[in-house]
């Protein structure tokens, strides 16, 4: 009986030993693949950037969103799930560049050196400004941050004598220092015989689901004006989203976030201060 138990123990020990050895061999093979270790990090080919981690490769151009793909590397054979253009043989690699030789396409070479077109992009990715009052755009894959200089309430009356004209009320968010520009605004319309739109914007949550506004409910239009880092005007568009206004004494707290989080014209805004009238 004791001999049978000893034999069973030996058999189990051998089996475990084989399994552990196999696991260790797999780990050693992963760690021993010098190509994978060399691939880790960022690589560039003009407007294209790819970033290798241990199990993913992230790809983007400076004007698009980054996408992630699972990959495997067996020896020097690279296979990327969902991105066949990156499949191929790593035919050359050193500390500065590597080349993928592909079956259906020409060779593709990436370099460690960052092209100038990426400098502003990566600076914004890694070091977004920490303004208290800010507007943050995401436009054509780029992120732009500006400090809000002031928020101003403006009105525009229908011309005198106009029949069934409109009064306009604005909440304008200004950005820039020397020559502030309107980066975002609420616009609401009132029939000319309604009360003058001079009262402060009501403290409430504004759920903006349309880009046409309504003179009946005085639901505002949210209009976005996009400027790059150098305050060059890029585009303008009415957007949907959720805004909220709160008051604490003379201080207004204004927040807005657009619904277009995965596309162009995304914006989020935060302002705390006294509005100009």
Q: What's residue 72's pLDDT? A: 95
- d(CA 182, CA 256) in angstroms, rounded, equals 15
Q: What's residue 214's pLDDT? A: 62
Q: What's residue 142's pLDDT? A: 82
Q: What's residue 194's pLDDT? A: 62
Tokens 């004006």 — which residue?
A: 225
- List the structure tokens of 203: 């403290």
- List the structure tokens of 269: 């805004």
Give pLDDT < 50 ranges for the chain: 1-2, 4-30
> Is the model's pTM score more than 0.85?
no
Q: What's residue 64's pLDDT? A: 82
Q: What's residue 165's pLDDT? A: 72
Tokens 């046409």 — which residue?
A: 212
Q: What's residue 15's pLDDT? A: 44
């Amino acid at each position: 009986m004791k001999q049978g138990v000893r034999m069973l123990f030996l058999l189990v020990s051998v089996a475990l030993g084989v399994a552990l050895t196999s696991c260790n061999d797999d780990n050693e093979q992963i760690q021993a693949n010098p190509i994978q270790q060399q691939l880790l990090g960022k690589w560039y080919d003009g407007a294209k950037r790819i970033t290798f981690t241990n199990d993913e490769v992230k790809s983007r151009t400076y004007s698009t969103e980054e996408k992630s793909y699972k990959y495997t590397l067996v020896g020097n054979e690279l296979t990327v799930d969902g991105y066949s253009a990156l499949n191929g043989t790593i035919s050359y690699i050193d500390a500065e560049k590597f080349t993928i030789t592909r079956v259906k396409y020409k060779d593709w070479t990436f370099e460690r050196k960052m092209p100038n077109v990426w400098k502003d992009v990566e600076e914004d990715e890694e070091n977004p400004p920490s303004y208290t009052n800010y507007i943050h755009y995401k436009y054509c894959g780029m992120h732009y941050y500006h400090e809000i200089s002031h928020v101003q309430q403006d009105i525009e009356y229908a011309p005198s004598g106009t029949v069934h004209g409109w009064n306009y009320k604005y909440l304008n968010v200004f950005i820039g220092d020397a020559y502030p520009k309107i980066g975002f605004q609420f616009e609401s319309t009132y029939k000319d015989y309604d009360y003058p739109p001079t009262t402060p914007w009501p403290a409430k949550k504004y759920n903006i689901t349309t880009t046409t506004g309504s003179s009946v409910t005085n639901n505002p239009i949210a209009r976005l004006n996009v400027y790059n880092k150098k305050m060059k005007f890029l585009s303008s568009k009415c957007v949907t989203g959720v805004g909220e206004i709160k008051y604490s004494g003379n201080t207004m707290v204004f927040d807005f976030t657009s619904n277009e989080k995965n596309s162009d014209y995304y914006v989020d805004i935060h302002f705390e201060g006294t509005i100009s009238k």
